[in-house]
Structure 1
Amino acid sequence: MQNPDRNVIYYPNKLYKIEIGQSIKDDEANKYLQEANLAIHKVLEINKTPDSIFTIDFPKNLLNKLPDNVKSKVTKELNTTDIRILTATVALAQKAKAEGKLTFIEKLDEAYFEINLKELYEYAGLSKTKYGRFDVKQKGFIRDSLINLHFKHFFILTNTDKKETMQIKQLVRVYEYEKKKGLSDKETVKLTVNGMFCNFEKTDNNTYFNLPSDINTRIRKINTGRQNPSIELFIKTIYRAKHYAKESTVSYTESKLIELLNMERYKESRHHGRIVTTLNKSFETAKKLGILEKWKEEIDKWGNKKFIFFLC
C-alpha cells in the first residue's frame, strides 16, 4: 500500500505492540522460552568482546520470568528518545519508499535505504536554536539512541508460508555503526529496517494506524521539560484507538493503562503519585494535540477505576 499523504505515516501495529511489551500473547509465552534462553546465552557471549553492548527487549510476559541478575545483564527498557527514533525511522522509511529510494528484500523481510542525520533530527522532533542550528547535546542523544537500537534485539513474530515463527533480531541496523559518532548533519547513514516499517502490500489497514509524520515535533513543543516514555505510548494508544473506533469514546481501566504505558515499575515501588501525575500529563498532552476532547473517571461494576476518553 502506497501512502499518498506525506503528512501521515502508517504506524505498524507490530511495532506498537513491541513498544508496549505485548508482542507475544500471554498463553503463548512458554512456547518461546527456549528461544529466549538461547538468545540470552548468545548475547552474554557476544558481549564478552570489546565494544559489544547488545541487549534484548523482552515482551513483559517473558521478562517477568527472568531472574533479576539476568535482566540486569541483557535487558534495557526503551526510553523516550528510543521511541521517538523508532517513530522517526518509520517516517523516513516510508518517505524513502514514496520517493523510490528504498529497496525491499522480500526473502529477508527487510528494507534498505539511506538518510542524512539532519532528516533524522527533524523527524525526531529536535528544535533549532536562534542561530538555526540543532542543539549539540540533543544531537548526541539522537545518535546514541540510533546506535543503541542497532545493538538491541526484539521478539518479532513473522508469518511465512502460512506458518507463524519467532525471530529475535534487530529492528534497525546501522552500517558501519562504529563510525557514526561525530558526523556532520549532512552526512548519510545507511540503514536496514524490518519489513514492518514500510511493507503493507500484502496486508490491509488492520496492520497499522495513522500518525502525523511530525508527531515527535508536536509532542516536544507541548512537553518541553523532562521527557517520559509513558506519555509517548499513551499518544500512540489514542491515535490507534481513533483509527479503529466505531464510536466517539473509548475507555480503559487504570490498571490497563498502567500496563499499556509500561508503568508497572511505579506500581511495584508504590509510587502511585507518579502514576497519577503521568496519566494526567498524558491526557493533557493528547488534548493539546487535538485528539482528545475531554475525559472522565468512573468506577466500573467490578470496582475498578476507569477512564472514558472522548475522541476529537
Structure 2
Amino acid sequence: MSNLDVKPAATVCGGRQNVSAAPVRDLLTSRTVPLGESTQVRRLLPNLGRRMVGAWCFVDHYGPDDIAREPGMQVPPHPHTGLQTVSWLHDGEVLHRDSLGSKQTVRPRELGLMTSGHGISHSEESPRDHARYLHGAQLWVALPGTHLTVPPAFEHHAELPTVTGGNGLHATVILGELDGTRSPGTTYTPLVGADLTLAEGTDTRLPLHPDFEYAALAMSGEAEVDGVPLTPGSLLYLGTGRPHLPLRAPTPASLMLLGGEPFAERIVMWWNFVARSHDDIAQARADWTTGPRFGEVHGYAAPRLEAPPLPPTPLKPRGRER
C-alpha cells in the first residue's frame, strides 16, 4: 500500500497531550485520492481532525468497485520504513510482492501484514484473472522507537481467531487483542484491529479496554455506533474511557474497529515513510533514490515509483491533531 500523492504533505503525529480522557463521538470525513491506475480510495487517517488512533496512523477505505473490465489495484514497487502495513479485504484479491522475495495473494478476511523495520519495498496488484469486485481497507501502524530497526518481515495469516458477542455480533481479530482473543499477527504496541459483522437486528455491547482510544470504520450496510449512524467509508473517533461499545444494525452491516494505547512518541510521516525527524525522512528518500537499503521487488511489470521532492521547510514532529 502506498501514498501516491506527487506532492505529499508532511504529517506530524503522536504524543498524548490531545488524547481525550473521556468518550467522544467525532465523525471524520474522508478525502478521495487515487491509488494506482484505476483505484480511488477514501483517506480517513491522517485527517484534518485526527492523525492517529493508538499506533494506527494511516487508513484508506476503497470500494466496492466493479473492476471486471479494469486492471484493478496496480501499485508499483515503493519503499516503507518505520511502520507496519495491514491489508484487509472484503471482496477481491491483492497480489503482494516484496524485496524479501515474498509473493502472496491476499484474499478476503485474510491478514497480509508487512513490517518495514529499517526498510523494505513492495508492490500490490489485482491478479490478471481477478474477481469482479474489489473492496477493502489498507492501514499503517507506526513502530515505536525501540523497534524502528527490526528486521523487515511479511506475514500471511489465512485463519484468524473470532469473537462471538451474541445478539448478532461476530468479530474477526485482525491484529492485537479483543475481549481476551489475540491475533497471531506480530505487534509492537498494545492495540487492536477487528472486523465486526453485524446481523440484521443486532443490538449489543462489545467489551473494550478503557485505557485504549478507539475508532470505528464503516465498511458496508447501516450501523449505529454508540448511537451515531454511520455510512460506508466514514470513521467515527471514540476517544478513551469506554468499558464497552454499543452497536446496533437495522440491516446487515460490517465495521472495522481500530484502537490502541495512545501513541506516546511524536513522529513525522511523509510519503511512505514514518520517522522521528526531517533528517530521517531525507535519508530514507535518498536511500530509495540511490542506495540498496530498500532492496528490489521482482516480477512487477512496470517501473518502481520515484520519490517526490521534499517540502521546502524542515519537517517537525508535533501533536496528534492539526
Pairwise TM-score range, normalised by the shorter structure: under 0.3
Give the number of the structure whose alpha-carbon radius of gyration is greater: 1
Q: Calculate the TM-score normalised by the size of structure 1.
A: 0.26
TM-score of the two chains, using structure 2 as the length reference: 0.26
> In proportion to residue count, which structure has more helix?
1
- Structure number having the greater strand percentage: 2
* Higher RCO (CA < 8 A, seq sep 6+): 2
